[in-house]
């Protein structure tokens, strides 16, 4: 990664600095082993220059400086093509050989990363020769110079790989004299590091590529574990005691796992592990880590480092915007505080200044409505207190500054039955909680990330699994939103007289003159009945059981919908684009994960098709019994689309979303296309027939009138 770490006695340089330090040195040759060479940068900024500089340095070494550049690479794939190495070879800058591990060994990949310069200096490390490793991914390596014996020994490892890259190559075996070594665990080289003597030897794998005298990777790691007396600290990308991890049926290989457990039990050694988490990390890695934790008495430390798997990954967006601290998701705190409260306040001030010039404030006139929500321009401290008001700072719902002002300056909250309304809102929470615990236990979202889910489950099962996953999501959101409303009702924020018919987010909608009299007369305020509809954010029943997506959406996150409608939808100048822009803004304040956009931006593509069907079918009278079947079909169809979209919302990453959606063949998308096709053909023809029928009826009426 492109960072420098300084400790008390030494510092760690970025890999890019080390590789660039190697390049000016060579007089004769540069040799490289890597699983991937790439300058294919999909990002903009300082990071792209690092890999490009190294690539151009190799190109210049092989062309202008006429050095012998040899490069060994892994088998190219569609996702990791050999475009750049082919470019080096075509321009005569390097000799490139490819090792086909599947052909030679039946499986496996080239995972060695090794640079040699004139057989005098070397770099061994974990970093691939691509932009991710140089700029975004946690890597480590060792730069060796002024130690010709060790560098020459490392060169023998390269020679073995170079032989494997020949046409019709075979595994060289363990007895080739020029590849054997005497430097191993029993006979290490002794070098000075910070005035301390250390024994050094280089290991390799697989065993069939370790000639006589070479210690294998497994043997070297096992020896280190067995000699530990106090602690073992491990940093590794994945921890899978398995063979063929990414196949349908991986096989258990617990040799190293057993040695770690033995060290923990027999020697009471402290074990700490730093494990990377990737989109391809398997869930069962946690089970192996827990088994170590049960023995060792402390769960291994885990830190997440994610390399962007695609151009839509949030880490890429962080680089594009130049922010190393941007988080890819937003919790409800940031949503309400950053995007709703302050933006809404700005428009409240704008509208208040505009309405201040109006004179006609008769009851129920549009001006009276604005007057009821009119605010004085707040100062810095008022804005600060409103923004950080504890009542809504955690999870919302959204409330206008006028509601906040009324809490302290109107008698509404003093006369509202806060305890009654809070109790009523709490009643369904135990059911939601129990339903969530049971359903999420049997149908966890994590199961949709496993290979078993895709390889051993049918398409119908994966299609059905959308429903319990969406059920879990709804129950979790219902719990959070109901409890959030309880905070408001207990504080009295959002209480208004029922006679004004308050609506979510908006507040009073009529009887504005009456509202003003109640606010000014404490005795009159005591006689009124109050409710908290102004901060009512979720209607679970209608959200679940309304027959259409459009009607169900109106019962979900209602105060935020009001904010979107007033501040985005109605203010956007181009009417045709209001809906997609509104959903795009909604996606943005959720975060930058691709799943949010796949979910929310899919809705406006569906709603017109739904409207066409409802308009043409809502007046049709169905026989008794059939109408119930039709109602069930509509409900199932609505929930199918909601569940389909919510899966993307929960899976977050674009590769995970498309893996799931493609596994069910994008059925909801295809059904939407079919709805449009029917709407533009069948229903269009139906309209023409109805129009002709009306014209014929009108003609008959005219003729009848003339005859009379």
What is the Cα–Cα distance from 324 to 21, expressed in whole angstroms? 26
Quick count: other Cβ atoms within 10 Å of Cβ 112? 18
How far apart, in whole angstroms, are the C-alpha atoms of residue 35 and residue 308?
Answer: 18
Is 350 labeled as catalytic in the residue annotation? no
To 5 degrees, how large is the angle CA 78–CA 82–CA 85?
170
Residue 21 sits at φ, ψ, to 5 deg, of: -65, -30
The alpha carbon of 607 is separated from its chain's Cα centroid by a whole number of angstroms, namely 26
Of 557, 567, 641, 650, the active-site residue reads 557
| Burial status of residue 561 (CB atoms within 10 A of its CB: 0-12, 13-18, 19 or more) | buried
User: Residue 385: which residues within 8 A CB-CB, separation 6 or more?
Assistant: none
Q: Round to whole Å and give the CA distance between 491 and 495.
A: 10
Task: Judge whether 339 and 353 are in contact, CB under 8 Å.
Answer: no
Task: Name every residue whose Cβ is closer than 8 Å to that of residue 690 and which is 6 or more positions away in sequence.
Answer: none
Q: What is the Cβ-side half-sphere exposure of residue 22, based on CA atoms within 13 angstroms? A: 28
Between the alpha carbon of residue 615 and those of residues 619, 679, 692, the distances in Å are: 8, 10, 19
**Half-sphere exposure for 32 (CA within 13 Å, toward CB):** 30
- The Cα–Cα gap between 374 and 349 comes to 8
Annotation marks residue 557 as catalytic: yes
Task: Tell me which of 23, 47, 590, 641 is the catalytic residue.
Answer: 590
Q: Give the pair of three-digit tokens for residue 20.
A: 């660039």
Render 305-323 in DSSP notation, one character per residue.
Answer: -----STT-HHHHHHHTT-
Residue 212, both tokens: 């006589």
The whole-angstrom separation of Cα 212 and Cα 612 is 76
Burial status of residue 645 (CB atoms within 10 A of its CB: 0-12, 13-18, 19 or more): buried
Supply the residues annotated as catalytic: 557, 590
């Amino acid at each position: 990664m492109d960072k420098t770490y300084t400790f008390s006695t030494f510092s760690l340089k970025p890999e890019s600095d080390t590789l660039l330090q190697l390049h000016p040195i060579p007089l004769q040759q540069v040799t490289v082993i890597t699983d991937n060479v790439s300058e294919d940068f999909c990002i903009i900024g300082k990071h792209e220059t690092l890999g490009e500089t190294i690539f151009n340095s190799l190109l210049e070494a092989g062309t202008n400086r006429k050095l012998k550049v040899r490069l060994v690479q892994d088998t190219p794939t569609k996702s990791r093509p050999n475009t750049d190495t082919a470019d080096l070879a075509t321009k005569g800058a390097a000799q490139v050989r490819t090792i086909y591990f599947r052909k030679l060994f039946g499986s496996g990949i080239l995972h060695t990363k090794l640079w040699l310069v004139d057989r005098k200096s070397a770099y061994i490390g974990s970093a691939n020769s691509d932009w991710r490793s140089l700029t975004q991914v946690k890597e480590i390596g060792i730069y060796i110079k002024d130690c010709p014996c060790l560098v020459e020994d490392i060169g023998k490892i390269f020679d073995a790989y170079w032989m494997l890259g020949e046409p019709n190559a075979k595994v060289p075996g363990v007895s080739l004299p020029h590849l054997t070594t005497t430097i191993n665990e029993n006979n290490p080289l002794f070098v000075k590091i910070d005035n301390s003597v250390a024994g050094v030897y280089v290991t390799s794998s697989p065993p069939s590529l370790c000639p006589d005298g070479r210690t294998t990777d497994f043997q070297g790691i096992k020896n280190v574990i067995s000699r530990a007396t106090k602690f073992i600290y491990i940093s590794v990308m994945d921890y899978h005691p398995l063979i063929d991890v990414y196949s349908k049926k991986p096989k258990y290989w617990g040799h190293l796992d057993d040695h770690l457990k033995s060290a923990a039990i027999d020697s009471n050694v402290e074990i700490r592990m730093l494990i990377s988490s990737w989109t391809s990390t398997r869930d069962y890695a946690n089970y192996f880590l827990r088994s170590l934790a049960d023995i060792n008495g402390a769960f291994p430390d885990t830190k997440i480092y994610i390399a962007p798997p695609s151009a839509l990954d949030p880490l890429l967006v962080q680089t594009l915007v130049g922010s190393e601290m941007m988080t890819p998701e937003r919790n409800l705190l940031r949503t309400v505080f950053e995007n709703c409260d302050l933006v809404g306040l700005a428009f409240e001030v704008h509208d208040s200044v505009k309405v201040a010039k109006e004179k006609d404030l008769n009851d129920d006139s549009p001006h009276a409505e604005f007057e009821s929500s009119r605010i004085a321009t707040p100062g810095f401290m008022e804005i600060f207190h409103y923004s950080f008001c504890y009542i809504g700072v955690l999870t919302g719902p959204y409330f206008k500054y006028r509601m906040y002002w009324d809490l302290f300056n109107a008698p509404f909250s003093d006369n509202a039955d806060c305890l009654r309304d809070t109790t009523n809102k709490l009643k369904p929470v135990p059911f939601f909680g129990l339903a969530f615990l049971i359903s999420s236990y049997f149908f966890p979202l994590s199961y949709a990330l496993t290979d078993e889910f895709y390889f051993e489950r049918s398409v119908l099962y994966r299609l059905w699994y959308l429903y319990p996953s969406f059920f879990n999501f709804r129950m979790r959101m219902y719990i959070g939103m109901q409890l959030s409303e309880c905070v408001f009702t207990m504080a009295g924020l959002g209480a208004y007289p029922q006679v004004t018919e308050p609506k979510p987010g908006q507040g009073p909608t009529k009887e504005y003159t009456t509202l003003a009299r109640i606010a000014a007369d404490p005795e009159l305020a005591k006689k009124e009945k109050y409710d908290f509809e102004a901060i009512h954010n979720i209607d679970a029943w209608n959200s679940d059981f309304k027959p259409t997506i459009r009607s169900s959406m109106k019962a979900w996150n209602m105060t935020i919908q009001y904010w979107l409608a007033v501040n985005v939808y109605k203010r956007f100048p181009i009417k045709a684009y209001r809906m997609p822009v509104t959903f795009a803004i909604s996606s943005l304040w959720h975060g930058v994960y691709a799943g949010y956009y796949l979910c929310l931006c899919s809705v406006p593509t569906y709603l017109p098709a739904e409207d066409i069907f409802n308009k043409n079918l809502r007046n049709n009278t169905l026989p008794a019994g059939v109408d119930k079947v039709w109602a069930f079909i509509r409900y199932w169809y609505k929930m199918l689309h909601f569940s389909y979209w919510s899966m993307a919302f929960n899976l977050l990453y674009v590769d995970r979303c498309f893996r799931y959606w493609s596994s069910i063949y994008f059925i909801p998308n295809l059904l939407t296309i079919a709805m449009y096709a029917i709407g533009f053909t069948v229903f269009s023809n139906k309209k023409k027939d109805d129009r002709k029928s009306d014209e014929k009826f009108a003609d008959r009426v005219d003729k009848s009138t003339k005859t009379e």
